[in-house]
Structure 1
Amino acid sequence: MTQTVKLAKLKRSEKNVRTTPPKNIEAMAASIRARGIMQNLLVTAARPKGMFEIIAGDRRYLGAMMLAEAGEIAAADYDVPVKIITGDEADLREVSLTENFQREQMTVAEECVAFQHFLKTDGDVDAVAKRFGQTRRFIEGRLRLADLAEPIFEALAAGKISYEMAKAYGSTADKAKQKRVFEQYGHSSYVNADQIRRAIANDTMKATDPIAILVGADAYVAAGGRIERELFSEDGDRWTDPELAQTLAATLMEAEAKRLGEELGVGWVRPVATTSLYGITSDLHRVTLPAAPLTDEEQTRCDEIEERMQVIESDMEDEGIDDDTYAALDAESDRLREEYQAIHDKAPELTDEVKGQVGVFLTLGRDGKMTLDTTYYSETPIRLPGDDRPLPSSPSSRRTADLPPEAVAPGGKPLSARLHDELAVQRRDILAASILGDPGLALDYMLFCLADPSHGYGRYGTTVRAGRPQDPQIPKDQPATQAQVAIAEAREGLDTSWTEGANPVERFEAFRALSDDAKAAWLAVVVATSLEAKPDYSSVTTNPLHARLASILEIEPAKWWRPTSANFFDRVSKGTLLALLTSVGGAPLAARYMASKKGEISTSCEKLFAGEAITEAETKEAALAWVPDAMRFDLVSAADADEAFGDEPDDEGFDDDGDTNDLGADDAGIDSDEALIAAE
């Protein structure tokens, strides 16, 4: 039977099974302030007579006491609804456990809908926050989750995704972006919240990004840019129109580059919104200018320093010199050396003869400030006065006739070595991410590479022993591709409990105890991360076995990778872009861009090949299906395999004594055990 007891007659009990301090008492106090205590407490009679101990309801009691201590209610007069329980200590503890154990908290989805309802009623986030004793940020976060794209909120409500995952999707208010990422990653069991947040962040720009600092929030918003508050992270707000910010930054940097060019009188000043020139200067020639000659005054002073230094050295060799005199001469010697070095460390002399042939780069620092790089470059080799050495050949002079098709860009020009390497790595990543879903195929591939007697590491495009492949050097600041994200997600989803063993035997036994599914996941990841990007031994840069795996998996690279300005279009010539436009849309499409600047064509190509441009259906279909030959797996034939692998070994590849031919034990003059140790 429920009755009321004055708040002052209640006290906490040791019989309550909840021993940890209740959390968020402020929120409970706010609820009591607004609506009173809505659920009765369970209490039992205690000493002195008239007092009651709380068996269940500690948080409600502490919330009411907080109001009493603040003077909002009087403990002696405030009625608390209670249900009085009788029994021995064991009975009371059982009641406490039952009451706490059977209570079911509201789900996050239910909280979101409820707060959304109250906001519609009150119309004020601060009022709702005060009403429930929460912060404004907490309420805004729940409202953001309530406004998630429909399939994501349904997944949260059904328990298919966690609260942390929902917050990751809610890091942007753009429902279209949420839905795109959910469709791409939402059905993978390997995905975690950080990966979702990174995938969404790739389409936004942090307010602390150097480009954002350079542009400034006021100019960005005035130009129509949108800023999205980050409710689930302390990393700062995000700009949801990064292309606009980049355009504004480019305008600022181009204006500064023009001013500097006129001031310096050099051939060109190129603005680049980065601190690193890695790869940007690959098609240019570095110009090392001679230092300016010394003036008559400078030469005279240098002669004086040399004469004085000889006197100092002679005086310091005198064994009868006292310590103070020696120290003074030593200090004078140091000063003279510094002065001498400063006179000779003159800036390079940029003469009028070469000034118009060289240029410099205007870079953007991490603090958002523009800085002029002091290294000079030329687009073609130049001869400096007094230098009779042969001119170096131009990087673009490579012949394309001897190159494989995938190393040649549309229009016939060769891809840069760096771009070719990057595309090879990304093509390999697509294969690696695809093989994750077929551990059986990964097992077949691994066992074949281990068992085949003619196995060589480069020959089969894999390290197989789980060694990491030696990839071409790729800049670390490039955004992760879809395939790379999938690989990282799979790795993070592995059961690593077995790795905690103190020695190899313990770790092996722990690994053996894993489930078959856990071992299969390890197998798929090990094989996927062993794949080589490209071989070094032949002109066929797509390994024939990789091509066969891709055909079995029915991989379509275009579904994994799309060309962008950053990863392709900015890296090839204008002629290549026009040739590419001709190949997907015919000469009329290319003609539209003949008079455009390369940067404008690159931007248009990015939209066209992402399917975002308004164009004919046939052109859109062709653009969405196109990838560079360097990203394709279907260019390798059986003849290419013969060329790559050469002759197969005789018989089964074993010597008479049972050793494999490729160990070469007999040739090396060592026995088979030594050969095996060497192979290890």
Structure 2
Amino acid sequence: MNQMIPLAKLRLSPINVRTVSDEKLNIPSMAADIAARGVLQNLLATPVKKPRGSFEVFDGGRRLRALNLLAEQGTIDAATFEVPVLVVKAEDAELSETSLAANFHQLKLTPAEECRAFQHFLGVDGDIDAVAKRFGQTRRFIEGRLRLAGLADPVFEALAKGDITLDMAKAYASTDDHTKQVRIFEQYGHYSYTTPDQIRRSIAGDALKASDPIAILVGEDAYVAAGGSVERELFSEDGDRWADPEIARELAGKLMEAEAQRLGEETGLAWIRPIASSHIYNATADLHRVSLPTVPFTDEEQQRIDTIAERMDEIAGQIDSGQVEDEAAATLEDEYRTLDAEYDELNDRPTILPDDLKAQVGTFLILAPDGSMKLETSYFSETPIRSEDDDQGSTGGAIKSNGSPTEPEATAPGGKPLSARLSDELAMQRRDILAASILANPALALDYALFAMIDGNRGYDRYGTTMKASRPQDPALGSEMEPTQARIAIEQAREALDARWTEAGDVTARFEAFRTLDDEAKAAWLALMVAGSLEAKPEYSATTNPLHARLASILEIDVAQWWRPTSANFFDRVAKGALLALLTEIGGTTLAARYSASKKGDVSSACEKLFAGEAITETDTKEAALAWVPDAMRFDVERPALEDSPDDKDDDETGVDKDDEGLDPDDDPADDFGDDVNDFDVEHPEEALEPAE
């Protein structure tokens, strides 16, 4: 029966199926809608005895919350405002079912339907703010939906059909140009792997963001006055886009040229070149960097530098001696870092540009990320600048950009330096000659490759090749693990190698010494290098590398002969339930039942003895335990990628195991082993491994 009931007589029923927070229900939006149009749909309620004449709303809780919000705001009077209610009398179960059915079949408007609806309402009253107020939304939200309503027809139809997501539609709406929208949609719209970011980048093309340094320098007013257009970005916080970047760049160029001319007159430099970028890497190819003298040290500064250097040497000696306690060593390291920073700061000297050089050098006016123009602090010359000593013939060569004599190979006949481009091209051609020649001597190529990869892991020299055998990035710190039989074998192999060649002087001398080794010694070094390069696992996966599995098969590796599980490396770090399952696998339910009532630590200790072959037990059980290794240690098991989980540990020393907390009593592993699981001696669980007499 439909009734008009005062708001004050209504309260939310506890059987209402909607339980999400008011924040997620967006109550203010619903309240704004009710204030504009009233309650458009009946609430469902059932009468209650107390207080007399009251009703509990079991469907329409969101509308009820919105009405109460309007009452709190003073928009309506709860005592007199009447709400249309369909009163239903039934049992709680039936009312709850009715509430579920009413909410289950409510369909939210699709984004496309929202766009058309807002477009319709805007056409009715023409006021975006009024529409936003009526629907309890922000002006930005309404503008965004209206922008989507103005999408090119193929794009909007795809949104309406659900072929593209709302985020994808927003990406297409980043431009008002329908032609561009359709072209990009035809190019990318049918690929499921396309992302909104890809669409934005494709549409943006050569457009400028309003946050680009050029845009900040020029300013929107000047850009628009020069005929530029701005595309307002409603779906991104990166700022609007300028659709005519060439206009902005032209304006920026004029501003920077004017500033460069002013600074040139002010500084007296030969030239200042403006660059609308924060770096100058691509503008100095045909120039020569000028090395300038720095401000000399004062007596006090030089004395402080000497004192710092002496103290840093003392600290390094104390730490290297290995006789300093950890806490004291940490304090010394902190002091060393502080002194090192001060040393660097003192040596970072400003340069001096002599007046007589100003007419021969220039620099660049760059554009910083914040849109400001800054003068580069490095100086360059268009032709090499000779020192006075070189003019007198004492150096016998030209001066490089860093002020030191140019190497002979970079010097043209007559002593003048080659251009950087010509020098680079000649170096490449020289490299190609060496590469072509080494093809005829595979043995030398092998020596070179081995030496570069082996020696490259212990030194910092340049080896003239991209071949490397870098150490793998292990997923865990090996230093935190106890030494294993395999690790000990690797270190013993390293100590047995003929390492006399490593004691030679420079890199060339070491190479010559390495070449004198016999083939067996070189092969041993190669094996160690390969062993040290092996990765523990593929990134983001727990699956064995198939090549590793094949190598293990060729080598007929028996992992159990190399590795045994212990409490430290395995048993303490898995759940008690896993240990009981393992004992069942090795010795059956009878063996596992002996430990179902024991503490996790006791079970772990017993497992360590059993799997090391130290426990007295049946022959079959002992053999199975000695042959067992976890799947994670086997090469022939494919394992799906799993999320990492922290090691399992007991809560305290009372024997309460985290893994047993919160388990359903029906799932207790002990139930699998009969009712007499507590009849065993748990004071000495290892004794339970001994066969009964």
TM-score with structure 2 setting the length? 0.50
Q: Which residue identity does 1:677 align to in structure 2? A: A
* Aligned counterpart in structure 2 of residue 29 of structure 1, from 6, 28, 31: 31
* Aligned counterpart in structure 1 of residue 352 of structure 2, from 336, 347, 358: 347
1:87 shift after superposition: 1.9
Identity %: 53
Which residue of structure 1 aligns with residue 569 of structure 2?
Answer: none
Q: Which has the higher contact order (CA 8 A, sep 6+)?
A: 1
Aligned-partner Cα distance in 2 for 1:346–1:394: 26
Q: Which residue identity does 2:215 align to in structure 1? A: A
Q: Which runs of 5+ in 1 are unaligned?
A: 314-337, 408-457, 459-471, 474-500, 504-663
Distance 1:12 1:121, change over 3 A: same
1:377-416 → structure 2 map (5 Å cutoff): 377-387=380-390, 388=395, 389-390=397-398, 391-397=416-422
Aligned-partner Cα distance in 2 for 1:358–1:666: 60
Q: Which residue identity does 2:9 align to in structure 1? A: K
1:458-537 → structure 2 map (5 Å cutoff): none
1:191 aligned to 2:194? Answer: yes
Aligned-partner Cα distance in 2 for 1:134–1:173: 23
Q: Which residue identity does 2:289 align to in structure 1? A: R
Q: Which residue identity does 2:175 align to in structure 1? A: T
Q: Which SS does the other structure have where 2:285 is aligned?
A: coil
Which residue of structure 1 aligns with residue 372 of structure 2?
Answer: 369
1:43 aligned to 2:45? Answer: yes
1:26 shift after superposition: 2.0
- The worse-fitting range, judged by mean Cα deviation, of 26-35 and 165-174 is 165-174
Q: Which SS does the other structure have where 1:386 is aligned?
A: helix
1:135 aligned to 2:138? Answer: yes
Which residue of structure 2 aligns with residue 249 of structure 1?
Answer: 252
Q: Is the 8 A contact 2:278 2:368 kept in 1?
A: yes
Q: CA-to-partner distance for each residue in 1:93-123, whole Å, 9 max, x for gaps? A: 1111111111111101000001011111111
Distance 1:258 1:74, change over 3 A: same
Q: Which SS does the other structure have where 2:281 is aligned?
A: coil
Q: Which residue identity does 2:32 align to in structure 1? A: A
Q: CA-to-partner distance for each residue in 1:222-276, whole Å, 9 max, x for gaps? A: 1122233332233333333222211111110011112223344433211011221
Aligned-partner Cα distance in 2 for 1:672–1:237: 58
Aligned-partner Cα distance in 1 for 2:380–2:7: 83
Q: Which SS does the other structure have where 1:140 is aligned?
A: helix
Which residue of structure 1 aligns with residue 15 of structure 2?
Answer: 15
Q: Which residue identity does 2:353 align to in structure 1? A: P
1:53 shift after superposition: 0.9
Aligned-partner Cα distance in 2 for 1:253–1:244: 14
Q: Is the 8 A contact 1:381 1:394 kept in 2?
A: no
Q: CA-to-partner distance for each residue in 1:478-503, whole Å, 9 max, x for gaps? A: xxxxxxxxxxxxxxxxxxxxxxx999
Q: CA-to-partner distance for each residue in 1:636-656, whole Å, 9 max, x for gaps? A: xxxxxxxxxxxxxxxxxxxxx
1:672 shift after superposition: 11
Q: Which residue identity does 1:39 align to in structure 2? A: Q
Q: CA-to-partner distance for each residue in 1:408-456, whole Å, 9 max, x for gaps? A: xxxxxxxxxxxxxxxxxxxxxxxxxxxxxxxxxxxxxxxxxxxxxxxxx
Aligned-partner Cα distance in 2 for 1:230–1:39: 37
Distance 1:219 1:679, change over 3 A: closer
1:39 shift after superposition: 1.1
1:66 shift after superposition: 2.4
Distance 1:113 1:502, change over 3 A: farther
1:58 aligned to 2:83? Answer: no
Q: Which residue identity does 1:119 align to in structure 2? A: L
Which residue of structure 1 aligns with residue 182 of structure 2?
Answer: 179
Q: Which residue identity does 1:393 align to in structure 2? A: L
Q: Is the 8 A contact 1:289 1:350 kept in 2?
A: no
Which residue of structure 1 aligns with residue 290 of structure 2?
Answer: 287
1:401 shift after superposition: 10
Q: CA-to-partner distance for each residue in 1:354-389, whole Å, 9 max, x for gaps? A: 544432111112222211113221233342433342
1:58 shift after superposition: 1.0
Aligned-partner Cα distance in 2 for 1:399–1:192: 41
1:148 shift after superposition: 1.6
1:6 aligned to 2:6? Answer: yes
Q: Which residue identity does 1:394 align to in structure 2? A: S
Q: Which residue identity does 1:86 align to in structure 2? A: K
Q: Is the 8 A contact 1:665 1:675 kept in 2?
A: no
Q: Is the 8 A contact 2:285 2:421 kept in 1?
A: no
Q: Is the 8 A contact 1:381 1:393 kept in 2?
A: no
1:259-274 → structure 2 map (5 Å cutoff): 259-274=262-277
Aligned-partner Cα distance in 2 for 1:200–1:665: 61
Distance 1:75 1:19, change over 3 A: same
Q: Is the 8 A contact 1:228 1:239 kept in 2?
A: yes
Q: CA-to-partner distance for each residue in 1:597-636, whole Å, 9 max, x for gaps? A: xxxxxxxxxxxxxxxxxxxxxxxxxxxxxxxxxxxxxxxx
Distance 1:671 1:223, change over 3 A: closer
1:8 shift after superposition: 2.1
1:115 aligned to 2:118? Answer: yes
Q: Which SS does the other structure have where 1:269 is aligned?
A: strand
Distance 1:41 1:282, change over 3 A: same
Q: Which SS does the other structure have where 1:103 is aligned?
A: coil
Q: Which residue identity does 1:218 align to in structure 2? A: D
Distance 1:17 1:399, change over 3 A: closer
Q: Which SS does the other structure have where 1:83 is aligned?
A: strand
1:124 aligned to 2:149? Answer: no
Q: Which SS does the other structure have where 1:235 is aligned?
A: coil
Q: Is the 8 A contact 1:271 1:362 kept in 2?
A: yes
1:582-661 → structure 2 map (5 Å cutoff): none
* Aligned counterpart in structure 2 of residue 668 of structure 1, from 504, 522, 525: 522
Q: Which residue identity does 1:395 align to in structure 2? A: A
1:673 shift after superposition: 7.7
TM-score with structure 1 setting the length? 0.51
Q: CA-to-partner distance for each residue in 1:559-579, whole Å, 9 max, x for gaps? A: xxxxxxxxxxxxxxxxxxxxx
Q: Is the 8 A contact 2:292 2:352 kept in 1?
A: no
Which residue of structure 1 aligns with residue 70 of structure 2?
Answer: 67
Q: CA-to-partner distance for each residue in 1:195-220, whole Å, 9 max, x for gaps? A: 33344445432333222221122212
Which residue of structure 2 aligns with residue 225 of structure 1?
Answer: 228
Over the residues paired in the alignment, what is the CA RMSD in angstroms? 4.0
Aligned-partner Cα distance in 1 for 2:257–2:48: 81
Aligned-partner Cα distance in 1 for 2:180–2:224: 20
Aligned-partner Cα distance in 2 for 1:376–1:278: 13
Q: Is the 8 A contact 1:41 1:54 kept in 2?
A: yes
Which residue of structure 2 aligns with residue 327 of structure 1?
Answer: none
Q: Which SS does the other structure have where 1:105 is aligned?
A: coil
- The worse-fitting range, judged by mean Cα deviation, of 167-176 and 277-286 is 167-176
Q: Is the 8 A contact 1:5 1:81 kept in 2?
A: yes
Aligned-partner Cα distance in 2 for 1:129–1:139: 6
Aligned-partner Cα distance in 2 for 1:502–1:287: 48
Aligned-partner Cα distance in 2 for 1:59–1:201: 42
Distance 1:257 1:139, change over 3 A: same
Q: Which residue identity does 1:668 align to in structure 2? A: K
1:189 shift after superposition: 1.8
Larger Rg over CA atoms: 2
Q: Is the 8 A contact 2:264 2:272 kept in 1?
A: yes
Q: Which SS does the other structure have where 2:47 is aligned?
A: strand
Q: Is the 8 A contact 1:152 1:179 kept in 2?
A: yes
Distance 1:678 1:92, change over 3 A: same
Which residue of structure 2 aligns with residue 358 of structure 1?
Answer: 361
Q: Which SS does the other structure have where 1:279 is aligned?
A: helix
Q: CA-to-partner distance for each residue in 1:27-82, whole Å, 9 max, x for gaps? A: 22222222211111111121223211111111111222222333333323323222
Q: Is the 8 A contact 2:292 2:351 kept in 1?
A: no
Which residue of structure 2 aligns with residue 522 of structure 1?
Answer: none
Structure 1 segments (4+ residues) deviating >6 Å: 399-404, 664-667, 671-676
